[in-house]
Structure 1
Amino acid sequence: MKFFLSIAKVIDAINTRIGKLVTWLTLIVVLVSASNAVIRKVFSMSSNAWLELQWYLFGAIFLLAAGYTFLLNEHVRVDALSQKFPRRVQIYIEILGVVFFLFPACMLIFWLSLPFFYESLVLHELSSNTGGLIRWPVKLLIPIGFFLLILAGFSHLIKCIGFLRGDCPDPQALPVGKTAEEALAEEILAQAQLDAERSTHNNATGKGR
């Protein structure tokens, strides 16, 4: 089991490195989108290539970070029923979900996306839009993204089995500390309270005058 857990660590390290690098694409998308909007409004100019670049980067964020999202247990779950069972039963349900749902779906999409990408590469497919980008790089994201997700599922499966054997911690355990959503909610609440205090202070100052 130690051998398989070491493989899981390598897979997790790969998805973590890629996931953290991909987060920077969000900033690039914002900069590209903002630049396009400013140039279009100020100079009345537009470029299909830059518009398509936004779509490509969004696709890269979604696909390449899927494995990292799964690793962090931040993906969408419909687990209202399974949460009522003991922890070990939940892990068994998790194993069944990975083996009979995650793997078949991801492997099918991965397999079907290979000729989809290869045909685009061989034909040097270009965008149908004037001045658009070549298509094969964005189509390559599909098999890469789902391959990373398959790896993440394999790592998760190893850790689930390891947990049942008592060889590793619970892979579904909630992280220590606040989640990203909780931290964001607190930040928004704190900013709203600060704005309310400033508004109250300004109103009081205005009445005093």
Structure 2
Amino acid sequence: MKFLISLSRFIDALNEKIGHLVSWALLAAVLICTGNALIRYTFNSSSNGWLEIQWYLFSAIFLLGTSYTLRRNEHVRIDVISGRLSKRAQAWIDIFGFLFFLLPMTGLILYMGLPYAMESIRSQEMSSNAGGLIVWPAKLLIPIGFLMLSLQGVSELIKRVGFLLGMVDAREFEKHAATPEQEIEAIKNANNLK
């Protein structure tokens, strides 16, 4: 089990790094979108390539950010009921969800998405739009994103089982976001500093 916990921590660190890189893709998308809009309305000129790079960056943000979001336990869920249960019961619910929903779904998308991306690479698929970009990098994001989500699902599964065995602290898989009360307190403190 110690090897699995080490593997889980490695996957977590990898997805943390990817999550931070994706935040730069978000900045790039905003800058490109802003620049494209300014050029379009100022000079009445634009390029399909600039529009497509925005779509590619959005795809990267969405597909690569899901594993980071799962790592931080920020995916949408029904906490109204499970939030009232013990940590052990929550861990069992998560294990069930990972085994019967998340991992089969990501496995199916990987199974179907990899040949789709490989065919696009093989044919060097290009956009049908005038001035468009190559398409295969965007299609390759599908299997990469779902591979990372699968790996993070395995990591989360390992942590829940480790918790049930008394080898992992529950803080390793709790939400990382601030509570509304903490956010309000941070705003108050920031206003007091001015």
**Fold match, TM over 0.5?**
yes
- Structure number with the bigger relative contact order (C-alpha 8 A, sep ≥ 6) is 2
Specify every segment of 5 or more residues in structure 2 that has no aligned partner in the other structure, as ranges.
none
Percent identity, please: 49
The CA deviation at 1:76 is 1.1
Change in Cα spacing, 1:181 to 1:29, as seen in structure 2 (3 Å) is farther
One-letter amino acid matched to 2:55: W
CA RMSD between the two structures: 2.3
**Who is 1:89 aligned against?**
89
What do residues 90-146 of structure 1 show as CA deviations (whole Å, max 9, x unaligned)?
A: 110110000000000011001100111111111221112111111100000000000
1:79 deviates by: 3.1
- 2:41 equivalent in structure 1: 41
Q: Which amino acid aligns with 1:156?
A: E
Matches within 5 A, 1:70-149: 70-149=70-149
Q: Do the aligned partners of residues 180 and 105 (structure 1) sit closer, same or farther apart at CA in structure 2, a change above 3 Å counting?
A: farther
Q: Structure 1 runs of 4+ off > 6 angstroms?
A: none
Query: Match of 1:45, SS?
Result: coil
Runs of at least 5 residues in structure 1 that lack an aligned partner in the other structure: 195-209
Matched, 1:60 2:60: yes
Partner of 1:169 in structure 2?
Answer: 169
Alignment match, 1:201: none
TM-score (norm 1): 0.84
Count of paired positions: 190
TM-score scaled by length of structure 2? 0.90
3-state SS of the aligned residue for 2:80?
Answer: coil
Match of 1:204 in 2: none
Q: Which residue of 1 aligns with 2:157?
A: 157
| CA positional deviation for 1:60 | 0.2
